[in-house]
């Protein structure tokens, strides 16, 4: 363990198993909250369990056509992985079913433009935080409202973003 820092005490800890090591660094604020005298229970992960689940088949050609139409750009927040991460982000994007396959409940003919929409991993996760999923317009509105809240921008900016066409 190493304590360093020009503006406070940082803690760096090296951990590892089987010759694979990682360096963990905690800033002063987190370090202080961990040392606040609250006892910590032993925490364990990695147990194995079996699970039975239902998987719905996806059509890779429908995914390809959806991305060919919209581009590999999140339709809610405009994230383009390649633009953000360079070559390692090329062609990364989730493809979201506007109506979840579990709600359709049967094999159906998918329209890659009407039924599917590219979303980044974060927006896709947000979409599925409720059932039925949030719409792209709802996610856009939430992003715009949060931007206004954080930056003090005008209500016009929120209304403009919300008025953009829905994919």
Question: For 89, which DSSP code?
Answer: G
Whether residue 141 is predicted with pLDDT greater than 70 in this model: the reply is yes
Beta bridge mates, 24 = 13
Non-local (6+) Cβ contacts of 37 within 8 A are none
Q: In the chain, pLDDT over 90 holds for what percent of residues?
A: 57
Whether residue 32 is predicted with pLDDT greater than 70 in this model: the reply is no
Pick from 52, 144, 60, 69: nearest CA to 113? 69
68, two tokens: 């060919």
pLDDT tens figures, 91-125: 899 999 999 999 998 999 999 999 999 999 999 99
Mean pLDDT across the chain: 84
pLDDT tens figures, 43-80: 999 999 999 998 899 999 999 999 999 999 999 999 99
Query: What is the pLDDT at residue 96?
Result: 98
């Amino acid at each position: 363990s190493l304590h360093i820092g020009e503006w406070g005490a940082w803690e760096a800890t090296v951990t590892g198993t089987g010759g694979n090591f990682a360096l963990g660094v905690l800033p002063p604020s987190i370090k202080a909250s961990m040392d606040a005298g609250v006892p910590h229970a032993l925490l364990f992960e990695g147990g194995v369990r079996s699970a039975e689940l239902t998987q719905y088949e996806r059509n890779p050609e429908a995914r390809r056509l959806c991305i060919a139409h919209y581009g590999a750009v999140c339709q809610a927040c405009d994230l383009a992985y390649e633009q953000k991460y360079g070559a390692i982000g090329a062609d990364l994007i989730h493809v979201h079913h506007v109506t979840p396959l579990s709600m359709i409940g049967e094999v159906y003919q998918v329209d890659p433009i009407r039924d599917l929409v590219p979303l980044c991993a974060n927006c896709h996760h947000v979409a599925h935080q409720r059932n039925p999923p949030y719409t792209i317009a709802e996610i856009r509105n939430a992003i715009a409202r949060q931007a206004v809240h954080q930056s003090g921008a005008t209500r016009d900016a929120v209304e403009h973003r919300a008025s953009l066409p829905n994919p």
